[in-house]
Amino acid sequence: MSDAQHRAAVRYAKLTKQAAGLAYQASLGNVTPDDYRKRMDKLTPRIERARVLAGINYEPVELPPEGDRRLAAALFGAPPEEG
């Protein structure tokens, strides 16, 4: 990861934390719905730009067939079935 990507990843983390805090305050009623929308409209493009610059993607991951118990154990913490 380059230095620029690292800075973008840190910025992405801070912005998503800020958005989560804003959503929490809105859920408590401390932020009006209109104010929430206005602030999120400003945050969302900044979050997306930081995500792209950091190289973070949301591509779906294809899982192997159900027969791969080791992956299931790693993902879900279940002990692999022996046999």
Nearest to 20, CA basis, from 45, 7, 39: 39
- What is the mean pLDDT of each successive set of 10 residues along the chain, which is 83 residues long? 92 95 92 93 95 84 64 63 55
Alpha carbon of residue 18 to chain centroid? 13
Cα separation of 40 and 19, whole Å? Answer: 7
Cα separation of 79 and 83, whole Å? Answer: 12
Domain boundary assignment for the chain: 3-56
Cα separation of 22 and 41, whole Å? Answer: 12
Position 57 scores a pLDDT of: 84
Give the CA radius of gyration of the chain.
19
